[in-house]
Structure 1
Amino acid sequence: MRGGVAALLQAEMTTLLASSVGHGAALWWLAGHAGARGLTIYSALMAVLALISLPLLSPLGDRLCRRRLILWGQALLVVEAVALMGLALAGGLSVSTLCACGALATWAQAIVQPARTSLLLDLLPASRVSAAIRVRRGIQALGTLGGPALGGLALSGGGVGVAFTLQALLAVAACGLALRTRPHAPSSPKRSIESWRASLLAGLRAKWQVRVDRWWSLTGALMMIFFLPATGLLLPLRLQAIGASPIWLGLCGSALSLGVLAGVLGLADRCMTRLGRLRAMFAAIAVCGLSVGLIGALERPWALTICFGVIGMCVSITQLMGQTHRSLAVPEDFRARMASAQLTLSHLAAAMAPLIAGLCLRQWPVEQVYGLMSAGFLVSGLALLLVPDLRSFLAASTKEASGWYQRRYPEAFRRAESAVARTDR
């Protein structure tokens, strides 16, 4: 990948490094100073804010310059990181200040993420989209691999102040990289000028009426309710319960990303070739669920790290299973809105997950809660068997997948009768 595409992916990787460092530092501080209650409040509030902001801002990516939106969002992330750095160095961190800064970052990500996904597809012909998505997954894995490791080292060596300082430096670097996408963006895309309300509702309607995408997304969200606490807010509590140092928090996160990277580099393809797409997906779900349960049963930090590596490999299989097809299947003028709708469902699950985990923690110790998360993940994964049209959609070739949603569900993509404006992205 070269030029604007390379700059776009490099900016995303650096953003992930920054957010992973900051997120790990925030979770570690909350676990030590506010306990399970503080972790639950923080995680739930961030998810609720994302749930509101993503659909509200979703039409932006289909109406305004996508590169400019990315730059605005990156600038907000710089402001958030600098604020956290100043608070940490001044000793002003609290649950409320972390929530305020997290809210700013959540709104910034709601602007950046759909626009970035759509711009990547704009910059490439359909024949190169599959390779680009694979490279992007590798870049994302590298970002989330390095971030927890860097964060763990910063926490061990200098505490949260050093970790948030590192986050600020990385956020500034990501903003600079985002500036390099401009010379390579297409110059004359068509853009609807339908009303904001009509644009928003059209995206939500499309997401709902495309049955395969609707039920696939809902099932994935249900699985995330049990998956996210296991890899997020429960982890620092589990590590502190077995007396592990903060470096293991970073190592577990890095192992998760390393597993994803291993899948992207070939393991996922081998599994899908050997087992077939559907069998590989269900095998990955089963192994992932069992690994989540083992995190609550094992007492050695290195063993937990291995479990996270296995979980990462399983995640790469499930995510690469249909990501290319789903991206190509959406009409160009609906990409940002449907991507935002997908993220909204993810954040709905993320809003429910900490609340459920928090209720469980009030009744049982963290190791037993891991067992409950494992069982819930495995049971909800069975719902994928009921997703309509899933088998035929996954069986389509890359060429057949292009525009598949509109051909299969034409009623889902009714467009308002409006003029079309040409604007420079």
Structure 2
Amino acid sequence: MYKFNILNHFVVGTLGPNLWRFQLSFFILTLGIRANQLAIAWWTLQETNCAACFSAMVACAISAEILAKPLLGWVADRYCKIQVILIGNILSAGSVLALLTLSLLNEFNAIAVGSLMVIGSIVIGVRDPIQSSIIPSLVDKEQVPLAFRSKAIMSSLATLIGPVIAGGLISGLGISMALGVDLLAIVLAARLVSSAVVKQSASNLMTESRISLILSGFRIAYRIKIEFYLSILAMIVNFALFPFFAILVPLYVKDILSLPVWYVGLLDSAFGLGILVGSYYFIGWLENKVPRDVCISVGFSLLGCNLLITGLLNSPWLLPIVFFCGGVGLMLVNVHASTVRTLATPQQYRNRMSATVAFFSALASPIGSIVVGLYTEKTNLNLTIILFGGLISTLSMIVFLIPQFKLVMRTSNKKLDEVYREIYPTAFHDTAH
């Protein structure tokens, strides 16, 4: 019988206090960010009563975050990752303090608030890839897969409870208090992450130009064909999945199911619960039974079926189960792909690789939203969802066509360490190192 308690491993000591402090700091930061985002949204809409104004502010912030990933991903390869995070926290604290001051003075200025949102988004764009690339420096190589699962659990918990806490803070205590909580979260997170000790220092890349370092991330991602093709598949998934949740699900619930808005929250929660249970239980249960490549293929299938069944059946009772399975599928893809990417990439390139792949994945989200906005005006909503589901489902077969995919995914954790240097020996010859 399968018995596993990841929380025991995580907290008691198998993964060690360094990872616990680091991931707890990101958990606290994520809760603070949710409070910050909802507070700014509520504040902006109250003061301007203009959805277009707020949308423009959000678009600028998201664009800054997306661009920061490839343009600044080299920073955490050149300098100590912990120091980069701490500097980012200082910048975040400064921007939140400025927002809090404006709120307390009851002085709303769209340009000032939007600019401070951009600063916070740039920090997030720099900080997020480090959350993955630093893991091999915090735990033993054999425990990297478990560390990625604990990361996914913490992220899914924050996603589930963050909006609830943020809504309660703003409803009960007001916008200024929510911003104050975010500021406190940044300080606590900085205290936690500063006590983490990494096993490896960042590579010395002082002689390389910034342009060379930026371009090297793209060159490496292109030359390592398995990552290049997987990043394309990730773009396709985000192209469909982001507008599905942001646009199509609310429209579907309102126009097709004729249900109130709480049902949208129920479906989102079911998907989040699938992410949590997939990280906590299913991946561990399958670890020694099913190869990674098969798990990733099954994950694409579950995600695709989530959309296909939604578009085909219109069953309010069945949909939460379908969305739960979709969340499990997303974790089967993400955890295995992230684990292999981080271990197989040479240490001095890991953050650039994570940042570049994240950039390509995020880039597809706004494109998908634009396409959906244009396409749904001309076709049936259910048909749009079905087409997106079919698109994702085909990836479960296409993924096996990627060169070296099966070989790399079935390599043991011990042998995965920097294996891309052996499989793709020319990939790193003229890049910054």
- Bin the TM-score by the shorter chain: 0.7 to 0.9
Aligned mate of 2:213, from 199, 208, 213: 199
Structure 2: distance between partners of 1:98 and 1:365: 39
2:89 aligns with: 74
Alignment of 1:106 with 2:118, yes or no, is: no
SS in 2 for 1:396: coil
Asked if the contact 1:46/1:103 (under 8 Å) is kept, the reply is yes
Per the alignment, in what secondary structure is the counterpart of residue 204 of structure 2? strand
In the alignment, structure 1 residue 410 sits paired with structure 2 residue 425? yes
Secondary structure of the residue aligned to 1:362 is coil
Question: In 2 relative to 1, CA 406–310 (structure 1 residues): closer, same or farther, beyond 3 Å?
Answer: same
Q: What does residue 144 of structure 1 align with? A: 159
Alpha-carbon separation, structure 2, partners of 1:302 and 1:26? 35
Corresponding letter in the other structure for 2:217: G
User: For residue 331 of structure 1, what is the aligned residue in structure 2?
Assistant: 346
> 2:274 — aligned with what?
259
Which residue pairs with 1:211 in the alignment? 225
1:131 is the counterpart of 2:146: yes
Task: Judge which range, 248-257 or 110-119, deviates more.
Answer: 248-257
| One-letter amino acid matched to 1:221 | M
1:172 alignment partner AA: L
Contact between 1:14 and 1:173, CA under 8 Å: does it hold in 2? yes
Q: Does 2:27 correspond to 1:13?
A: yes
Question: What 5-or-longer segments of structure 1 have no aligned partner?
Answer: 419-425
Q: Which amino acid aligns with 2:119?
A: L
Q: Number of matched residues?
A: 412
Q: Aligned partners of 2:99, 2:404: CA distance in 1, in Å?
A: 46
CA distance in 2, matches of 1:396, 1:86: 53
Q: Greater RCO between the two (CA within 8 Å, min separation 6)?
A: 1
Amino acid at match of 2:300: I
1:362: which partner in 2? 377
For each residue in 1:1-60, what CA deviation from the matched residue of structure 2 results, as whole angstroms up to 9, or x when unmatched?
A: 44332221001112222334555677899999767x789767755553333221111111
Q: In 1, Cα distance between the equivalents of 2:289 and 2:204?
A: 43
Structure 1 residues 277 and 130, CA gap change in structure 2 (3 angstroms): closer
8 Å contact from structure 2 (residues 34, 162) kept in 1: yes
Give CA-to-partner distance per residue, 1:268-303, whole Å, 9 cap, x none.
343565554333333332222222244456767775
Give the TM-score normalised by the residue count of structure 2.
0.80
Shift, 1:407, TM fit:
0.8
Partners of 2:196 and 2:265 in 1: how far apart? 36
Q: Cα gap change, 1:281/1:187 in structure 2, threshold over 3 Å: closer, same or farther?
A: closer
Once the two structures are superposed, the pairs formed by residues 206-355 of structure 1 within 5 Å of their partners are 206-241=220-255, 242-245=258-261, 247-271=262-286, 276-295=291-310, 304-355=319-370
Counterpart CA distance in 2 for 1:188 and 1:272 is 28
Q: Indicate the percent of aligned positions where both proteins have the same amino acid.
A: 21
Tell me which moved more, 165-174 or 219-228.
165-174
Superposed, which structure 2 residues align to 1:377-392 within 5 Å?
377-392=392-407
CA 1:150/1:293 → structure 2, altered by over 3 Å: closer, same or farther? farther
Q: Which moved more, 1:318-327 or 1:259-268?
A: 318-327
Q: Which amino acid aligns with 1:191?
A: N
In the alignment, which residue of structure 2 is the partner of 1:422? Answer: none
Distance 1:209 1:365 in 2: 41
* Matches of 2:92 and 2:267, distance apart in 1: 25
**Alpha-carbon distance in 1 for matches of 2:300, 2:421:** 29
Give unmatched runs, 5+ long, in structure 2: 1-14
Measure how far apart 1:117 and its partner are: 2.8
Cα contact 1:58–1:200 (8 A) shared by 2: yes
Shift of 1:133: 1.7
**Native 8 Å contact 1:292 1:370 kept in 2:** yes
Alpha-carbon distance in 2 for matches of 1:149, 1:297:
31
Per-residue deviation, 1:182: 2.8
Cα distance in structure 1, aligned partners of 2:243 and 2:76:
30
> 174, 179, 196: which one pairs with 2:191?
179
- Higher mean C-alpha displacement, 98-107 vs 205-214: 98-107
Task: Classify the secondary structure of the residue corresponding to 1:410.
Answer: coil
Query: 2-side partners of 1:325 and 1:187: how far apart?
Result: 19
Cα distance in 2 between the residues matched to 1:314 and 1:282: 9
Partner amino acid, structure 1, of 2:240: F
Name the SS of the counterpart of 1:406 in structure 2.
Answer: helix
